[in-house]
Structure formats: C-alpha cells, structure tokens
Amino acid sequence: MLACSLAKEGAFSLPLSRIRIIRHEEIAEFTPKVCVQCSDASCITACPVGALSRNADTGAINLDRDACMGCRQCVTACPYGGVQFDPIRNIPLICDLCGGAPACVEACQLPQAIRYVQYASKEA
C-alpha cells in the first residue's frame, strides 16, 4: 500500500493506495482487495461516459480523468472490491499496473503474494 501510494500519488497514504487489505490480525488473516484485471471488466461496462478503457500494451484499465464525472458506478460494479475512490478529487483509483512495472510487485518479492505475469489478450 505504501509503495503504491508513493508511486501513484507521490506520498504515503493508506486511502490513496490502489490496494486495500482487510486485516484480521488476531488470526493473521489478510485479504487484499486490488484490481485483478478481469478480461471482461464490469467497471468498463458500467461506466456511463466511457471514461474507462483497456490499455492495449499492458492490459490494464486506464482512466480518462477529464471524461470521468465521479458517479462511482465502477466502484459498485467491481465484484472484487478492486476499485477505490478518492472523494476529494472525485475520481476512482484503479490499478494501471504502473504502466508495466508495478511498484507493489517490486515490494513483495519474498512472499511473492503479488506477481506480474504477461497479459494474454482474447485474440492471442
């Protein structure tokens, strides 16, 4: 979360991270919520103004900030809870895989709980 917020926002902040972790520390159970890059992305379908699109190179969801009107349809549409929302700027926070070099993967090399694997498009 810290590596993510630094990479995307230039500062450390838990709510500005694209990752959420539901922590149940008493029994050491940690459930991460993050964009899993669905092949049929319900957030793209849900967006009424077409502000979300898939990046052809990385396969990640990209946000067109100018088009976005902050309706949060994408947040509710995501079945994985992978879309966060910044109420100050009124935009969703969706993982864009840092353009192909995700900061979170770099920070998680021992447990390898997050790995970056090649995107296979539907046509391929």
Partner 1 sequence: MQTSYPGRWLIVDLSSETIHREYIPPKTLEQFLGGRGIGAKLLWNLVSADTDPLGEDNAFIIAPGVLSGTSAPCSGRTTLLAKSPATGHYLKSNIGGQLGIALKLAGVDGIVFTGKAKRPVYLAITPDQWQLNPADDLWGQGVRTTTNLLKKRHGADAEVVCIGPAGERLVQFAAVMTSYYNAAARGGIGAVMGSKNLKALVIDPRFGKLEIADPDGFTRAVKKARDLLYSDSIAQDLHKFGTARDVDLLNELRILPSYNFQKSHITGEMRRISGRAWPELGYLKSIVGCGGCIYSCHRFTRIDAGKYAGTYSGGPEYETVASFGSGCGILDPEPVFVANALCNDLGLDTISTGGVIQWAMESIQRGALTREDVDGLDLSFGNGDAVIEMVKKIGYREGFGDLLADGVARAAEQIGRDSEKWAVHARGLEQSRVEIRGAYAYALAFAVNPRGPDHLHSECLAEFGGTKEGIALIKRLTGDEKYAIPNTEDKRAEIVRWHEDIYAVSDALGLCAFTTTAAYSLQEELIAELLKTATGITLTGSSLMQTGKRILTLERCFNLRDGLCPEKEDKLPWRIMHESQPDLPGGGEPITPERLKRMLSEYYRLHGWDNQGMPKKATLDALDLAFTLPQLSAAYSKCSNSKENTDYN
> What is the contact surface with partner 1 in residues (CB under 8 A)?
2-3, 6-7, 10-16, 22-23, 25-29, 103, 106-111
Q: Which is nearer to partner 1, 27 or 117 (CB)?
A: 27
Q: Tokens 């450390």 appear where?
A: 12
> Which stretches within 68-107 are classed as H helix?
73-77, 103-106
CB–CB of 89/99 below 8 Å?
no
Least distance in Å: CB of 48 to partner 1?
29
Least distance in Å: CB of 86 to partner 1?
12
Least distance in Å: CB of 111 to partner 1?
6
CA nearest to 2, candidates 106, 100, 76, 116? 106
Q: Which is nearer to partner 1, 115 or 122 (CB)?
A: 115
Strand 61-63 and strand 84-86: the pairing is: unpaired
DSSP-assigned letter for residue 121: -
Least distance in Å: CB of 68 to partner 1?
22
Q: Which is nearer to partner 1, 77 or 108 (CB)?
A: 108
DSSP-assigned letter for residue 14: S
Q: Which is nearer to partner 1, 23 or 65 (CB)?
A: 23
